[in-house]
Each structure stands twice: as structure tokens, then as C-alpha cells.
Amino acid sequence: MNARLPRLQDLPPKWARFCLGIGAFAADELGCGFADKRCLIACSGGPDSTALLHIAALLCRRSGGTVRAAHLNHGLRPEAGADAAFVAELCRELDVPLASEACDVTALARDLGVGIEEAGRLARYAFLERVRRETGSELILLGHQLNDLAEDQLLRLLRGAGWPALGGMSAHDPTRTLLRPLLLTPKAALEEFLKDSGEAWRVDATNLDHATSRNRVRNILLPAMLCENPAYLDAAARLWRQARLDEAHWDAAVAEALTRVRRDDDAHLIPSELLQASCAPLRLRIVKAVLEGLGPGQPLCDGLFQLVALWLEKRSGKAVRFPGDKEARVSKQGIRVQVIDRKKASG
């Protein structure tokens, strides 16, 4: 075993319990233990992913799992090459196989017509999924931690998200084989773990640039919330847990309701008897789920409220358009939802 990575039992008791607690969170609360799995760690060289790489390696080597790392150089900063070299050296010392690539995110953003941040996110997840498939890894582990979760909740609030989406990002996404085992671990605890272990990490100076909303939330809004309530991160963790419980409830209710939605070749009919039998929150969620099932395009809250109000007023023939060329029209039978062909509609 490499000298840089001690055995779990050789750690000070505080940090051994810390690592075991992260493993227990994934296994017990998320139902997705990773210590005995083939894991791919997304590692940028920052404190969160560096700590995750160490913790995952400790737990996996103790329980029969394996660890690989993946690093994508976005080519956006002069220091990006040094970050890649840091990750490569770290993986060499920990005896962790590494997949490392570079991507011109600026060109990708231009080609896709999206912002730099969105292009980087798309490139990163595509890269991770490709490496996962190529290496036969079972899980992709991401280093998002509790401060990230609190920031995500605030960003969702600012953007007008509803409940339970306000609870923030998921910790386990089985459809994309993503796991965030550090999600309820404060950033300060991860940095303390690395410092006490004598481990270095890289600092991304662009995190201080207030040109992006995320950085403004991170550097201005979240510190202000912590000033008002020093236990704000604990509150964020409670909100996340409450949202998970409610999400499970509503997901089950919506799934059952969707079995009663009628489908034909080009449209879905949400029957009036189903809408009448559903409480107001479920009614909105049913309509939203049917719209989302028709393809890209996020149904906005104002449109959903307007549509349900038209149905309650029995305004047959009235329609509401949604992003993605989707139309929902009120009829005596219920609400008919379909994607509109622009050429036919204009012809």
C-alpha cells in the first residue's frame, strides 16, 4: 500500500469516524454504499474532490471496492495545466488510475449557444460518463458538499423553484449513476481533514469572480445568511432531508396518477375526473409531469397556474403555450397536452 494513503485504522479516531460517517451516509441514508463498488472520482484538485479521493480510497481499499479518478481540463484559466499536473501527481502517489483530458469549453459554448458555465457542466458530465463506461465503473462520485448544497438552495430560491425542488440537488441520481457522498459534510470539515492529514489542494481563483450568480451567492449571500444564523448550514441539511421525504411522497402519487392519463398518437389527455379527484398540489404536479414527458422545455410555474385556473373556470378551448412548442388546451374532457408543429400551425 502506498505510503501516502494510510489504513483507516491508522487515522486518528476523529478522522476514522469522519470517513466512516461519510460511508454510512451513502449506504444508510442514500441506499447506495460505495465502499465495495468500482468507483470513478471526479477530481478537479480542489479541496472537496481531493478530500473525496482520499476518503473513497480509504473506504474502498478497506471494503473491497476500487477507485479511479477523472480530471477534465476546461482550458479556461492559466493555472489549468498546473491543476491537471497536481491531480496526476496526487493519483500517482495514491496509486489511483487517472483519466485526464482537455476540452475547449469556450468553443463548445459557442457551438452550443450556451454560457461558459453550462458548457463546462455539459462537457464534464459527458466526459465522466464516457470514462465510467470505458472503465466499467459502477458509480461516479462527485465532491459537492454542504456549502454547495446551501448555495444551490439559494440559487433555486432566486430562480423561483417550487417545492420540493427548493431542497437542492440530489445526493444520488441512479439514472446517471451519480453519487454525492459529501453532500451533508461542511466544506470546513473537509479542509480540516486535509490539513490534519498534511495534504495540499488547488485553489481556483475564478471562484472569487463575482461576474457569475453562483459566485455572488457563495461569497456574498451565503456568508450573510451564516452571519444571521451561524447554524444555517444545519438548517440547509434539514431542508434537504424534508424535501427528500416530500419528493418521495409526491413522486409516488404522480406516478400513480399518470397511469390514468390517456394517450393517443400525438397528444395526452388528463381527464377531468382525475383532475377533480386530485388535490391542488397534486393537480399541478400531474400537469407538470405530462408536459415534461413531451420532451425538452421547462414548464414555468406561472403557466401552470394559469392553465389550472382556466380548467377550474371551465374555459373550454382556451390554451396555454409552454417552452418546447408544447400546448395545453382545456376541454370538457379535461386538459389536452401536445407538441405543436410550428409549420402546420402557421400554414
Residue 228 grid coordinates: 444571521
Q: Name the class of domain 261-346.
A: alpha beta
What pLDDT, on the 0 to 100 scale, is given for residue 115?
87
What pLDDT, on the 0 to 100 scale, is given for residue 332?
93
What pLDDT, on the 0 to 100 scale, is given for residue 343?
54
What pLDDT, on the 0 to 100 scale, is given for residue 342?
61
User: How is the beta sheet containing 38-42 ordered, strand by strand?
Assistant: 98-102, 66-73, 38-42, 139-141, 178-179, 172-173
Residue type (1 letter), 275: L
User: From CA 130, how far away is CA 128, in angstroms rounded?
Assistant: 5
CA dihedral 25, 64, 139, 51 (to 10 degrees): 60
- Going 150 to 156 to 157 to 158, the CA torsion angle's sign is positive
Nearest to 161 by CA among 117, 270, 169: 169
- Going 69 to 73 to 77 to 78, the CA torsion angle's sign is positive
Structural contact between residues 187 and 227, judged by C-beta atoms closer than 8 angstroms: no
What pLDDT, on the 0 to 100 scale, is given for residue 1?
38
Instruction: Provide DSSP, 176-224.
Output: GTEE-TTTTS-HHHHHHHHHHTT------GGGG-TTSHHHHIIIIIHHH
Residue that is written with C-alpha cell 397556474 in the block: 305
Domain ranges of the chain: 8-242, 261-346
CA 248 to chain centre: 17
What pLDDT, on the 0 to 100 scale, is given for residue 94?
94
Nearest to 323 by CA among 305, 297, 290, 300: 297
CATH 3.40.50.620 at 8-242, yes or no: yes
pTM over 0.85: yes
Mean pLDDT by runs of 10 across the 347 residues of the chain is: 72 97 98 97 97 97 96 88 95 96 91 87 95 97 98 94 92 96 98 96 86 91 97 98 95 96 90 97 96 88 94 96 95 95 56
